[in-house]
Structure 1
Amino acid sequence: MSFSVKPLDETTWPDFAALVERHNGVWGGCWCMAFHAKGNGAGGNRAAKQARVRDGSTHAALVFDGAACVGWCQFGPTDELPRIKHRRAYEEGLTVLPDWRITCFFIDKTRRGEGVAAAALAGALGEIARLGGGTVESYPEDTQGRKVAGAFLHNGTLAMFEKKGFRRARQIGKHRWVVATTVAPGA
């Protein structure tokens, strides 16, 4: 498949919002707000996300198939995305915070298994390079040897990250890993 990737901003907000609305707010109204500092409840998440887009305090690589937004990868500096799953285990092995976190993916339910997540990850890494690069961390799930429904892989798969050059740093859950890489600054 051939996809294009664009950053989430005011010009792409309508495309992002249309995808989220087609999926009932994503995960019960999250609107990709769960990893930000505070929750606004399902009712307030849409407005909160749109406000973050307007003021530039949220980042995502949106994947398009033609004119349709079919998925995204959320990323941002650690102070923009301070909340992560398995926090206690994460903090036990923490030596230094990364510059960037990749916290979640969402793929249109009709487009899963087509490489949208890989395109979103590549797009996020490209945006991170454009924004100055640095250390990047994420928390994917190891699916090797077991079946996991795509809808539950909001952090992506370990294999996908390793294909993009991420290395395993440490395990923080039964199947979840901290992975990291360094992205050079780019244009």
Structure 2
Amino acid sequence: MRTIALAYCQVVKTTLLVRPLSDETWPAFAALVEANNGVWGGCWCMGFHVKLKGRTAEQNRSEKEQRVHDGTTHNALVFDGDSCVGWCQFGAPKDLPEVKSKRLYEKGLTSLPDWRITCFFTGKGHRGQGIATIALAGALEQIAQYGGGVVEGYPEETDDRKVAGSFLHTGPMAAFEHHGFTRTRPISPHRWVVTRTVAPA
């Protein structure tokens, strides 16, 4: 298994590794999801792949695992030792068609990006430690290895508001701006399309 990114988390004084979701890392990813009730009640990080209405957690788990086998889902997983503590999902628009605020997104769309950054998750006990920023760095490294291109994200702007975690599943604006993304257009009162071009590795 190749380690693609190495980051130092000053909050917990430990070295965190970022690895791609693969058949080898699936058990650690699944353990994190299972420890958190399937994530958002059984999403299994499938909500940007398909419409979730009417689907069971078991269906989502099975399809996510199959997509890992097929190479049609991509997550940058943050590891603390042998445990997966968070992730950032990315992929091509054809694999992740279900963007949030889709009507407003499509209204202002001029061309599709090469890649989308769609969702983040951090496990209990590791929140507030910059895991999302580390995961995003890993996702961008993986995208560079896949050839790079235009990358879009859809983060929530907190504006110093107290925001429920469910609204931050597309990532905090601060993480994207830290990695050089530029605001392109708003698609909800507090959510933006942000873009950055990643050079090939």
- Which TM-score tier does this pair reach, normalised by the shorter chain? over 0.9
Instruction: Report what 1:21 is aligned to.
Output: 34
Instruction: Report what 2:180 is aligned to.
Output: 165
Moved more, 29-38 or 148-157: 148-157
5+ long unaligned stretches in structure 2: 1-8, 10-14
Residue identity in the other structure for 1:147: K
Distance change in 2, residues 1:177/1:36 (3 Å)? same
5+ long unaligned stretches in structure 1: none
Residue identity in the other structure for 1:33: M
Q: Tell me the distance in 1 between the aligned counterparts of 2:164 and 2:51.
A: 28
Q: For the Cα contact (< 8 Å) 2:156–2:167, is it kept in 1?
A: no
Moved more, 147-156 or 59-68: 147-156
Q: For the Cα contact (< 8 Å) 1:112–1:150, is it kept in 2?
A: no
Q: Tell me the distance in 1 between the aligned counterparts of 2:43 and 2:160.
A: 30
Q: For the Cα contact (< 8 Å) 1:4–1:64, is it kept in 2?
A: yes
Q: Give the superposed CA RMSD.
A: 1.1
Q: 2:50 aligns with which of 29, 37, 40?
A: 37
Q: Tell me the distance in 1 between the aligned counterparts of 2:16 and 2:57.
A: 30
Q: Tell me the distance in 2 between the aligned counterparts of 1:134 and 1:82.
A: 18
Could you list the per-position Cα deviations for residues 89-114 of structure 1 after superposition, in whole angstroms to 9, with x for gaps in the alignment? Answer: 10111000000000000100211001
Length-normalised TM-score, structure 2: 0.90
Instruction: Report what 1:185 is aligned to.
Output: 200
CA deviation after TM superposition for structure 1 residue 159, in Å? 1.6
Instruction: Report what 2:112 is aligned to.
Output: 97
CA deviation after TM superposition for structure 1 residue 41, in Å? 2.9
Instruction: Report what 1:88 is aligned to.
Output: 103
Length-normalised TM-score, structure 1: 0.96
Percent of pairs with identical residues: 62
Q: Tell me the distance in 2 between the aligned counterparts of 1:163 and 1:71.
A: 18
* Residues 1:148 and 2:148 are matched in the alignment: no
**Number of equivalenced pairs:** 186
Q: Tell me the distance in 1 between the aligned counterparts of 2:50 and 2:40.
A: 18
Residue identity in the other structure for 2:174: A
Q: For the Cα contact (< 8 Å) 1:71–1:107, is it kept in 2?
A: yes
Residue identity in the other structure for 2:167: F
Q: 1:138 aligns with which of 149, 153, 160?
A: 153
Residue identity in the other structure for 1:46: R
Q: Describe how 1:64-83 pairs up with structure 2 within 5 A.
A: 64-83=79-98
Residue identity in the other structure for 1:96: S
Give 3-state SS (helix, strand or coil) of 2:156's partner.
coil
Instruction: Report what 1:106 is aligned to.
Output: 121
Moved more, 143-152 or 90-99: 143-152
Residue identity in the other structure for 2:90: F
Q: 1:129 aligns with which of 123, 137, 144?
A: 144
CA deviation after TM superposition for structure 1 residue 151, in Å? 4.8
